[in-house]
Amino acid sequence: MHKESVNEEHSGLALNLEYTLEAGPEEVFRMLTDAAELEKWWGPHGFTIPAVELNLTEGGRYRFRMAPPEGEPFHLSGEFLEIDPPWRLVYTFRWEEPAPDDRDTVVDLSLLGADDGTRVVLSQGPFLTEERLALHRSGWTESLEKLQAVLRDKAE
């Protein structure tokens, strides 16, 4: 059975989230770092990413084109700061068409082996406003739900 733990506490304007996925750390890390796999689950419900550019090296860059259910596509990009397969991934996160309250943030993903799969411990920040933090909390929660669904389909 799938267990989910979401920690919505934040200190200052940082997002801290935990989510347990029903797969081992190696598989979860691959899903987080393989362009073809990212296309299957990244983004909130209803969003797709029709284009992924990914250079998975420290100092390497990535760029995602995201398409909402309605409206024009937009882009996010960043640089990989730390890559430690299958345990840790740290990168910058920047909206290329930012809203006035957007700023560059750092995403830190730690993967911890658990009896029922992998516990993903995510932190991201700092955010300029509570509204932007809430937007990212929602986006990450829905993205991880979509990732869990993809992992379940693969296991069947």
Q: Residue 150: inside a domain, yes or no?
A: yes
Q: What is the CATH number of the domain that holds 106?
A: 3.30.530.20
Q: Residue 105: inside a domain, yes or no?
A: yes
Q: What pLDDT score was predicted for residue 12?
A: 62
pTM of the model: 0.90
Q: What pLDDT score was predicted for residue 117?
A: 95
Stretches where the chain sits below pLDDT 50 are 1-11
Per residue in 49-67, pLDDT (tens digit) is 999 999 999 999 999 999 9
DSSP line for 122-152: EEEE--SSHHHHHHHHHHHHHHHHHHHHHHH
Domain count, the chain: 1
Q: Residue 4: inside a domain, yes or no?
A: no
Residue 60 phi, psi dihedral angles, 5° rounding:
-75, 160
Q: Residue 70: inside a domain, yes or no?
A: no
Q: Residue 115: inside a domain, yes or no?
A: yes
Q: In what order do the strands lie in the sheet with 74-84?
A: 15-21, 117-125, 105-114, 88-95, 74-84, 61-67, 48-54
Q: Residue 116: inside a domain, yes or no?
A: yes
Q: Residue 75: inside a domain, yes or no?
A: no
Q: 33 lies in which domain range?
A: 15-42+84-155
Q: What pLDDT score was predicted for residue 8?
A: 40
Q: What pLDDT score was predicted for residue 49?
A: 96
